Structure 1
Amino acid sequence: MGSFSIWHWLIVLVVVIVVFGTKKLSNVGTDASKIVRDFKEGMKDRDEKPVGSQQVADKSSIDVDAKEKSKL
């Protein structure tokens, strides 16, 4: 009683196709595949970098530690 049969899922699929149309559904599939591909590329790039590496700052910037002035 808690699970749906194949007929229930087919009816849901037909309703979704009628409401959204096939063109929008294909666009959603294309967008989802691009997202997955970009995610995989990002994870691959992350894995290729050594663990201890740091990103190099812009050469025109200066890296300093700010310290509070002592009040005398």
Structure 2
Amino acid sequence: MLGGISIWQLLIVLGIIILIFGTKKLRNVGGDLGGAVKGFKKAMHDEDKQTEEDTDKPQAQVRHDNEGHTYDVKAERKSEEQEERK
């Protein structure tokens, strides 16, 4: 079996845990754990979808009068605090 642990030993340990914590507390812990796993799976799925969308979009390019030079740029929004200082 599991490294020399029998099913009866596992049941005794489970019974002691239920006596210590109670079934209501264990049910809450199980629900919280299940919610955390669902949230993690959803976040991973959303991140994969966002990564696929980001790779499909081309980068923005800025061209000047001189046709030989092209500059790739990334636009970022300044925070309100930085704008107030100027």
Q: Same fold (TM over 0.5)?
A: yes
Identity %: 44
**Change in 2 beyond 3 A, CA 1:40/1:57:** farther
Cα shift at 1:3: 1.1
Cα shift at 1:57: 4.1
**Change in 2 beyond 3 A, CA 1:14/1:38:** same
Moved more, 10-19 or 43-52: 43-52
**Change in 2 beyond 3 A, CA 1:25/1:57:** farther
2:6 and 2:43 map into 1 onto residues whose CA distance is 39
1:28 equivalent in alignment to 2:6 = no
Quick one: which amino acid aligns to residue 39 of structure 1?
Answer: F
Q: 1:6-45 deviations in whole A, cap 9, x for unaligned?
A: 1100100000000000000000000001000100110010
2:11 and 2:21 map into 1 onto residues whose CA distance is 15
Question: 1 or 2, which has the higher strand percentage?
Answer: 2
TM-score, length-scaled by structure 2: 0.58
**How large is the RMSD of aligned CA atoms in angstroms?**
2.1
